[in-house]
A and B are shown apart, each in its own frame.
Chain A
Amino acid sequence: MTGGWLVRRVLLALLAAFGVGVLVFTLLRLIPGDVVTQLIGLEGNVSAAQQAEMRRLFGLDQPIWMQFLSWFGALLRGDFGVSLRTDRPVFADLLLRFPVTLQLSAMALLFALLVGLPLGILAALKRGKAADLISSSFVLVGLAAPEFWLAILLILLFSLNLGWFPPNGYVSPGESLIGNLKSLFLPALALSFGLAAATTRIVRASLLDVLSQDFIRTARAKGLSGGAVVIRHALRNALIPVITVIGLQVGNLLGGAVIIEQLFGLPGIGRFALEGINLRDYPVVQGAVLWIAVSYVLVNVVVDVLYGVIDSRVRYS
């Protein structure tokens, strides 16, 4: 029984990933002109006969479903085509850039948890007090302010005024580990705000809900200290909805990363996609978009599987 929902979940994810492929393929065909006209736009004058020969080489004279199959087959072999600008294989660049996006998102998740968990617990325990008010204000601002604007405020304060962190640029961990962490600190902090606010809100609500239940009163009546009740009984039960909400939001870090990478000049997948868009380098756009979408689907599958492990009541039918 445990295997069934997992298999189904993975199959649905694969189906969605296939659909993403179809969608991206369709979008590529919506652009006026084809690969050949785009290349010619770069290369200068090419005769009609040469153009026809190029189309045949690219397989553009084949029926559309054949084109789709060979395109999709190439994707599965890791062949994402070649950048129109740099002539580098797109897949190689994706592998090079993905670790940056991954590290940025992981650091943002860490910051969000470091802020959101304690702040949410504090707000629930000090309900209606000053700490609760401060935490609710943080939640309201964190959910309403655009992350790229918060990023600019952070640059203003920590880079331009205090000089603690670089305002942009990326240092690889191979060059300097400290420099690497410093170059990603502000971007990750900016990216973490929304998730930190969402975490704070759900931790507070979930903990308050659990604290009002009968078994907590029983634990208190047994004579357990306030701290023991909160840690041993309330928190454990409060964490399930928290994991659900964080899981739903984690994938969105990938979307936010696109903007943050652009703003801080970080060489991640998101910036790669935007560079491709600005230069009309469609193989790059296609590769980066597919890569992020498939990572997003994967993250969501992993999160779903984790629920199943953590809470045996959750089984997807």
Chain B
Amino acid sequence: MSAASQPEFAVPRSPARRAAQLFFRTPSGVVGLALVLLVIICAIFAAQISPYDPVQYLPADRMQGPSVRHWLGTDLYGRDLLSRVIYGSRISLSVSVLSVSFALIVGGLLGALAGFYLKWVDTLIMRLTDVLLAFPAILLAIALLAFLGGGFWNLTLAIAVAFTAPFARVVRAAVLRSRDTMFVEASTALGASDTRLLWRHVLPNSLGPILVEVTLRLAYAILGEAALSFLGLGTQPPAPAWGQMIADGRPFLELNAWISVAPGLAIMVTVLGFNLLGDALRDALDPRLGR
């Protein structure tokens, strides 16, 4: 029997395959995945796709609107906006992926320890996250950058620190949930060590909510990176960071609004992609549907 003629309720046995099937039935999730892939492709193949060098001055082409020659127009120095927007995806994606990975590793480890050992370990780690969560995330990053100084790595570190506490919370909650299941109890009864329990049973069963959190956090990281670059606290010019480009265009809104509008559209499309993807993943992995 072909897959197409299968009745709606025929569910594959593997939870991962079931989730994948549910996911691909959600049109918004597929759109999100496509947008995210588009941005990733732009970032990887920026050099091949971009019509111009993103930092090259073309004095003869200054402050142009969209045209056949420059699809999104040019900025004050005649730099091609489309090329700058394409290259900007590299900064945006690398800062967000690096900072979210760092936050996931450190926050995840703290959360797993807190949820797994409870007692004083839990209290200590949770009070630490209270302190980090006492700041609006963007302010925490601004404060860190104020003292560390700007630039790619400090920017990444600042966003990573701001996101560590939320990850610790999510992973702790996920670990607490799977900790109470029968199979963990059974493994404990069979004499499995703590390390084995954590790595073989508890963490793999907490992957769903963590994956969703990672996807949605990437969207926040992109917005955060853009905001910090907009304030001049991110990568330094002439690097084509989207937030910085929006700030660059601010004095020239009446002359050529595209300088600010184009990078903003790029941010929106990227964040939209991650949001749609994250929401669809959450629905597909929803524990209420059984796993």
Q: Which of A15, A22, A145 contacts B267 (CB 8 A)?
A: A145
A302 lies within 8 A of chain B by Cβ: no
B226–A146 touching, CB < 8 Å:
yes
Tell whether A292 pairs with B246 under 8 Å between CB atoms, given A16-B131, A27-B143. Answer: no
B130 touches A15 (CB 8 A): yes
Q: Which of B139, B223, B249 interacts with A146 by CB under 8 Å?
A: B223
Q: Could you tell me if A155 and B253 are in contact, using CB atoms closer than 8 angstroms?
A: yes
Q: Do A254 and B264 touch (CB < 8 A)?
A: no
The main secondary structure of chain B at its interface with chain A is helix
In this complex, the interface size class of chain B, counting residues with CB under 8 Å from chain A, is: 35 or more
Specify the chain B residue showing the minimal Cβ separation from A149: B264
A293 contacts chain B at the CB level, 8 A cutoff = yes
Instruction: Decide: A146 and B231 in contact? CB cutoff 8 A.
Output: no
- Residue of B136, B145, B148, B260 ringed by the most chain A CB atoms within 10 A: B136
Contact A297 B246, beta carbon cutoff 8 Å: no
A140 contacts B by Cβ under 8 Å: yes
**Contact of B110 with A by CB under 8 A:** no
Task: Bin the interface of chain A by size.
Answer: 35 or more
B138 touches A255 (CB 8 A): yes
* Inter-subunit contact A160/B147 (CB<8 Å): no
For B219, the chain A residues whose CB sits under 8 A away are 144
* Of the residues A15, A16, A254, A285, contact of B143 by C-beta under 8 Å: A285
Q: How far is the CB of A251 from chain B (nearest CB, A)?
A: 6
> Chain A's nearest CB lies how many Å from the CB of B130?
4
Closest to A257 in B: B136
- Interface set, chain A 148-177, CB cutoff 8 A to B: 148-149, 152-153, 155-156, 160
Query: Could you say which of B137, B139, B230 contacts A289, with CB atoms under 8 Å apart?
Result: B139
Whether a CB of chain B sits under 8 angstroms from the CB of A277 is yes
B-chain residues with CB within 8 Å of residue A210 when the two chains form the complex: none
What chain A residues lie within 8 Å of B291 (beta carbons)? none
Q: A16-B130, A20-B131 in contact; A140/B136 too (CB < 8 A)? A: no
Inside 8 A of B127's CB, which chain A residues have their CB?
12, 15-16, 19
Q: Do B143 and A24 touch (CB < 8 A)? A: yes
Q: Which residues of A (208-266) have their CB < 8 Å from a CB of B? A: 251-252, 254-256, 258-259, 262-263
Alpha-carbon separation in the docked complex, A143 to B273 (Å): 11
Shortest CB distance B158–A (Å): 11
A residues within 8 Å of B by Cβ?
A: 12, 15-17, 19-20, 22-24, 27-28, 30-31, 140-141, 143-146, 148-149, 152-153, 155-156, 160, 251-252, 254-256, 258-259, 262-263, 273-274, 276-277, 285, 289, 292-294, 296-297
- In the A-B complex, the 7 residue pairs with the closest CB atoms: A255-B136, A19-B131, A149-B264, A144-B272, A144-B271, A255-B138, A277-B146
15 further A-B pairs in the complex, CB-CB below 8 A; given A144-B275, A259-B227: A19-B128, A20-B135, A27-B143, A140-B275, A145-B268, A145-B271, A146-B226, A146-B230, A148-B243, A149-B260, A149-B264, A152-B260, A156-B253, A255-B135, A273-B142
